[in-house]
């Protein structure tokens, strides 16, 4: 099978695309930050129409910059999902103000709720469950709420290396999912190997968690960049994929791409249609343009940016 890979100059190149990968990349999402968004003239040159765009809220980023970025991306025609990191939200009044700003200025009706990477909470919140329990997102009519998932655990939460606390949190989130009118999904930390992802997804399904999984995948990037981010973000056993590659001098300077992990997950999904990983969420650690091109070349959203003709 081949698809047309449309470029901005309207010259079409025929690029072989795996049907399994193309299907798996359907309705993918991508994450940006205000400072990285400033480097993009028009997201319609890069992303297919309807691509969900997460906006990461890093500690120290003013809410004004977050809302402005959300408005800009929404104006270009994309559904926007800003982060709400619990530990940098001082109180319920602040949370209500953020929600009102996003809705009033950017028409936002979906959000990713997470604890955030801050060690000491600014105020009364320290988990996504507290944000959900506030009732403010339901009162505001949010249609979609995503929460965090951790295929390889999270040592900031389970300091003993187990998955006891994150598993308990999943059970709480499952109960909320069953009672909420909002669509929900688990947006996960990125991993580099398919088997740990498959095993984790199967294990939580066996434990009664049927919230759809949007699996986190790191986009193409320099190997050194990925290792740095992986260590900082607490990526678990699949980090050995990068470490093994780093020992091969012939590959050390080559960009690392997600071809292998995506291909294996796509094949597993094709063979097991009830596999609970339903979507791919990209972390563009090597740049938004690089990540978007990789997805387009591999048939994501039919391999065509919104501005392609």
pLDDT tens-digit series, residues 243-279: 666 555 455 556 789 999 999 999 999 999 999 999 9
239 in a domain, yes or no? yes
Pairing of the two strands 12-16 and 2-6? antiparallel
CA-to-CA distance for 130 and 86, rounded, in angstroms?
8
Measured at the alpha carbon of residue 232, what is the angle toward residues 117 and 160, in degrees to the nearest 5? 75
86 in a domain, yes or no? yes
Pairing of the two strands 183-190 and 110-114? unpaired
CA-to-CA distance for 196 and 130, rounded, in angstroms?
29
185 in a domain, yes or no? yes
Residue 135 tokens, joined: 């009732």
Mind listing the pLDDT tens digit for each residue in 32-75?
Answer: 999 999 999 999 999 999 999 999 999 999 999 999 999 999 99
184 in a domain, yes or no? yes
Q: Which CATH number belongs to the domain containing residue 255 in this structure?
A: 3.20.20.220
Residue 242's pLDDT is 64
Domain count for the chain = 1
134 in a domain, yes or no? yes
84 in a domain, yes or no? yes
4 in a domain, yes or no? no
Whether the pTM exceeds 0.85: the reply is yes
Could you tell me the residue range of the domain that residue 26 belongs to? 17-303
Whether 10 shows a pLDDT value over 60: the answer reads no
Give burial (CB, 10 Å; 0-12/13-18/19+) of 212. middle
Pairing of the two strands 277-283 and 213-218? parallel
Mind listing the pLDDT tens digit for each residue in 116-144?
Answer: 988 899 999 999 999 999 999 999 999 99
7 in a domain, yes or no? no
């Amino acid at each position: 099978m081949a698809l047309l890979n449309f470029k901005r100059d309207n010259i079409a190149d025929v690029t072989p695309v795996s049907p399994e990968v193309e299907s798996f990349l359907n309705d993918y999402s991508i994450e940006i930050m205000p400072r990285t968004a400033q480097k993009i003239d028009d997201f319609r040159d890069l992303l297919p129409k309807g691509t969900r765009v997460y906006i990461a809220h890093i500690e120290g980023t003013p809410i004004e910059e977050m809302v402005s970025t959300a408005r800009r991306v929404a104006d270009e025609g994309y559904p926007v999902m800003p982060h709400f990191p619990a530990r940098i939200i001082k109180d319920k009044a602040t949370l209500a103000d953020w929600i009102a700003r996003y809705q009033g200025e950017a028409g936002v009706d979906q959000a990713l709720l997470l604890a955030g990477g801050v060690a000491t909470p600014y105020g009364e919140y320290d988990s996504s469950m507290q944000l959900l329990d506030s009732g403010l997102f339901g009162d505001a009519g949010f249609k979609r709420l995503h929460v965090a998932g951790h295929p390889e655990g999270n040592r900031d939460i389970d300091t003993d290396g187990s998955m006891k606390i994150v598993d308990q949190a999943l059970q709480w989130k499952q109960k909320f999912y069953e009672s909420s009118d909002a669509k929900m999904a688990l947006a996960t930390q990125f991993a580099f190997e398919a088997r740990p992802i498959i095993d984790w997804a199967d294990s939580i399904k066996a434990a009664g968690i049927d919230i759809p999984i949007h699996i986190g995948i790191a986009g193409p990037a320099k190997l050194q960049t990925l290792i740095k981010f992986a260590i900082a973000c607490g990526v678990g056993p699949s980090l050995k994929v990068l470490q093994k590659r780093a020992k091969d001098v012939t590959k050390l300077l080559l960009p690392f791409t997600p071809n292998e992990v995506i291909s294996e997950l796509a094949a597993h999904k094709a063979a097991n249609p009830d596999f609970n990983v339903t979507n791919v969420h990209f972390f563009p650690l090597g740049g938004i343009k690089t990540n978007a091109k990789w997805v387009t070349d591999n048939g994501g959203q039919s391999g065509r940016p919104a501005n392609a003709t």
